[in-house]
Each structure stands twice: as C-alpha cells, then as structure tokens.
Structure 1
Amino acid sequence: MTMEIVGNGFLARNLRPIADRHTDTAVLAAGVSWAGGTSDDDFARESALLDEVAARCRTTGRRLLFFSTASTGMYGEGGGTGREDSPITPCTPYGAHKFALEQRLKASGADYLILRLGHLVGPGQPPHQLMPSLLRQVLEGAVRVHRGATRDLIDVADVVTVIDCLLERGVRGETVNVASGEAVPVDHIVDHLQERLGLDVEREYRDAGAHHVICTEKLRRLVPETARLGFTPTYYRQVLDAFLDSAGVDRATVPTPS
C-alpha cells in the first residue's frame, strides 16, 4: 500500500517518489490551481472531490493532505501578518474558494493537514502558472508587471522535502504556510531572467499589484530542516536558475532577433 495521490498534475507527479513512505496519508493534488481562476463549475468540482476524499479518509483513518494557497488572494493586499492564525478575509474568488474548502475539511471529521503554498516553481509546470507565463513573456520581449507586486517563490523539490518531513513527524490538525518567507518584487524576478538570458525586455506597468509577506515561523518550528534549504533574500535566484536549466533555456538557446 502507498500514499493515495488524487490527481495527475504538477504537484502530484512530484510527490510520487515519497508515496511509499506515507501509507497513512491521502493527498488531494487536483482541482483549481490557477489564482486567476473564477469558474464556479471548477470550484464546485473541487468541493465535491474534497467531500469524496474526506469521506474516504474518515472511513479508512487516513490523514488528508490538502493544498490551499498563501497568495494575496488568501492573506489580503498588504498590511497583514501572513500568519496562519491571523484573521482571514480573502480578497479574490480563488482565495475565498480555498479558504471555504479549508473550513469544509475541518468540519468533515476527517484527519487533515492543510498546507498554504507559495508560488511553486519547477519542471513541467502548467503554462498558465506564474513562472512559465513570465518566462514566455520575457522570451517574447514584453512583460506585464503589476506595480509593487511581490511573489514568494519556492522550488517544488523543497516543497516535497518539507511535506516529507511534516508527514514523517505525524503533523495533523494543523494549517501551515509552505513558502520561503521572502516577498520578491516581480521586477527583481524579471531582472534576473533578463540577466540570465541576455535579453532586453519592455515592461508594461499596471497599477494592480499587491505586496504581502508570508510568515514562515510555524513552518520553521515544525521543520527545522528548512534552515538548510537556503531561504534567504537571494533564494529566488537559485530557484529561477534551476527553472531555466530544467527548461533548457539560456543565452545560447535564445534566438537572436533578425
């Protein structure tokens, strides 16, 4: 018997190598994965899937690992603490949906662990997610940047390391932010991509950005191993470098404008 992984997407694939280690856990790694998503049908399907998996976990006694979000949509547009125990007033449909699912799971009677994720980065991401979308824009020579916007980037391999530790320690009945704790201006992310690829990129600024910091005090307390993952103000650069390497994109492969 192995860990039950519900879903076949980006995160589900990355969790398969540790499936044999956590047979007491079911993982819901399916559903809405786009912070801009607002489809009522998609939200309803994820809600129904959560109910189904939670009912199965209640019967089998398995812990249900559910992935929520630590995005601006959950923690607001600035000024908050970004802590798991802070008052939550989601400011986007996606954030409201994920927060409602958290409450639904807590009331289901199933054993659970809720992880609020930062912006995951790694090979094989869906094209609509942040880094594939941003890289595509950089390669095309024009990027849309929300003025003042920040993003907390975390390598999916580091997320799997954190999850492995949390499950191994039997953590349950908790909500935990899984992020680097570093709010990186999107301008800095574009700067690094430009430098690595040797490109000049035109930036179109929009006044719709949001700055927020994700608190990782609880994560660091539960998983002291995060100290060796390099979560510093420059961590995002190694995340971006690994992403570009995995995508096979560098100065040598970027087409020269004719």
Structure 2
Amino acid sequence: MRILVLGFTGYLGSHVVGRLHALPGVRVLGGGRSPDAELGIDLATASADLLAKALASAAPDVVINCAGATGGDAVTLAEVNARGPAVLCAALREAAPTARLVHLGSAAEYGPGVRDTSVAESAATRPVTPYGATKLAGTVTVIASGLDAVVLRVGNPVGPGAPPTGLPGRIAGLLREAGRDPDAVIRLGDLSAYRDFVDVRDVAGAAVRAATAAGPLPRVLNIGGGRAVPVRDLVRAMARIAGFQGRIEEDSGGSARSGEVSWQCSDITAAGDALGWRPAHTLDDSLAALWAAVRADTPSGQRDGDRAP
C-alpha cells in the first residue's frame, strides 16, 4: 500500500508518518514544501493540473492531508485551509479517483458549544473565526467531492512537538524560560474556557486507522478526548509537571481564534464504532510527553538543575 502524507513534516503529519512507518507492507510518501518531500508541492498555490500530474506519478492508494494553517491572516487561512483541499480533490478525481482521502479537519468548525453537552457529527456547524470558517470550507469540499473520503474533526491536539502557536506549546515554552525561579511570573489571558484536548499520538492513530480501514467510512468523524477540560486545569497541570515554583496570572485578554468559544467537547462515539478507536493517552500523559520533548530540546547548560549556583 502506498500512502501519501501531505504536510508530513508538520506537528500532526510527523506523528502520522511515524505511525505509518511501523506498518508492514506500507510505502510512505511525503508531500509538501520540504526539500525532502517526494511530492514537492504547496496546496496553497499549486494548480489542479500540476498536482494531478504529481499524483499520477506517485500513484497513492491513500492520501492523508495533514496540511493546514492555524494562524496568519484570513487570506493565508483561506489559501491553505479552503483552497488547498479543493485543489487536492480536483486533482485526485483526475489522477487517482479510487484513492482514499483522509482529511484532518477541526472541531472549530462547530463553533460555540453548549455547556455540559458533547457535539456529535450531525450537529450544525457555525464557526465564529476565520480559522473555523476556512476549515469548514475545506471539509465541505472534501465530503462533496465524490471521492472515497473521510474528514477527521480533530479537537485540541497536545503532546510532544506541540508548536508555540498553540496554548500547550506556548505554555511549555514559557515554563522552560521561567525555570524554577520562585519569583517568576507568567502572565496569560483568560483561562476560563473549556476545551477538548486529544493527544497528538492518538490523532495519528486515528488517521492511520482511517487510512487502512476496509470499506467506506462515515463522511465525518470526531477525534477528541471526549471530555471538556478547563484550560486553567491544563495550565496548572503543566506547571506541576514542570516543577514551576513561581506565579501564574491571568487577565481578560485571550486568543482571538478561540475567545468566542467558551465550551468545546466532542462526542467520539462514531469514531469508536467506525474505526475501533479510542484515546489511549490521558491529559497528564500528553503533558508529560510534551514537557519531556521541550526539555530534550533545551541546551544542557540551561536546564533546571544544571545552572551554576
């Protein structure tokens, strides 16, 4: 089986590739802007004709699209999250119409949740940010493509390799900078929201199951932790794992991308039924792995306990 992973060097894509390499009989192809990509192409700018030629040469049985943008202006988000899937679907219809497409969407497509309620795939989509709107546009294109396609609506990924553009990665970076200084102060925005966090390794596992599952799949499957966690609890847990001894302060400011969504929780029943998938990692597992990765990337002379007295 030949599986092409677009965005293979990114946060989600790199974990998907790692999972795929462990499977016997699978040839993994990388696609993206990296010099190491076997399919060197940028979905945000490529034409459907050019991409079709590249896909015909690669001859994939499955394409897993992990390419996406979480930050930037609305134009950038639209180019990557909306135009990219549209071009990909058009090229697949021409060059590899029988290939399965596994596309990573986002729980942000649902928009504001209702407190104490889990959102199923049948719920209305009403995103309130350019990010959520552009991800939804990509999802609509994929499910209407006529291809053998499934969209995995992913919650808030957390775990090793989390980028500083997301809250878990940013918190980990701030804690690394603060060290064990008891006078350190970390100032954050409003932490009162609830989010559905899911380990990035579990997301990769779901993508691999979707890629290798026999028979047709539902058009959309939620991939999350299945519970709403106060963001404040995540920050405190991360501080505890890091051995932070300073003070955390929060104000009324917050992320423009998520500020209008105070509750997020996905119903993951369908993914269990269709893929036999459930999250394998607890939030503490995810945060511990994230912190271990951050520590491993810290020069030895800057690590806690390595500093001269």
Fold shared, TM-score > 0.5 on shorter chain? yes
How many Å apart are 1:102 and its aligned residue? 1.1
Distance 1:187 1:42, change over 3 A: closer
Residue aligning to 1:241: 288
**Correspondent of 2:75 among 19, 36, 40:** 40
When the two structures are superposed, what TM-score results if normalisation uses the length of structure 2? 0.71
Superposed CA offset, 1:203-222 (max 9, x none): 11327561221111112222
When the two structures are superposed, what TM-score results if normalisation uses the length of structure 1? 0.83
Residue aligning to 1:254: 304
Residue aligning to 2:202: 158
Residue aligning to 1:29: 66
Are 2:65 and 2:104, in contact at CA under 8 Å, matched by a contact in 1? Answer: yes
Count of residues paired in the alignment: 249
For 1:160-179, list aligned pairs within 5 A: 160-170=204-214, 171-179=216-224
The one-letter code matched in structure 1 to 2:276 is P
Are 2:77 and 2:130, in contact at CA under 8 Å, matched by a contact in 1? Answer: no
The one-letter code matched in structure 1 to 2:248 is E
**Correspondent of 1:203 among 238, 245, 249:** 249
The one-letter code matched in structure 2 to 1:6 is L
Residue aligning to 1:121: 158
Distance 1:74 1:191, change over 3 A: same
Residue aligning to 1:78: 114
Distance 1:39 1:138, change over 3 A: same
How many Å apart are 1:253 and its aligned residue? 2.9
How many Å apart are 1:40 and its aligned residue? 1.4
Are 1:184 and 1:236, in contact at CA under 8 Å, matched by a contact in 2? Answer: no
How many Å apart are 1:56 and its aligned residue? 2.5
Distance 1:146 1:238, change over 3 A: same
Q: Does 1:181 align with 2:221?
A: no
Secondary structure of the 1:30 match is coil
Residue aligning to 1:15: 16
Q: Does 1:62 align with 2:113?
A: no
Q: Which runs of 5+ in 2 are unaligned?
A: 29-59, 179-184, 254-258
How many Å apart are 1:78 and its aligned residue? 3.1
Calculate percent identity across the aligned residue pairs.
22
The one-letter code matched in structure 2 to 1:47 is A
Structure 2 distance, partners of 1:55, 1:46, is 15
Distance 1:63 1:117, change over 3 A: same
Distance 1:194 1:47, change over 3 A: closer
Distance 1:87 1:110, change over 3 A: same
Secondary structure of the 1:239 match is helix
Residue aligning to 2:274: 222
Are 1:65 and 1:112, in contact at CA under 8 Å, matched by a contact in 2? Answer: yes
Residue aligning to 1:4: 4
Residue aligning to 1:134: 171
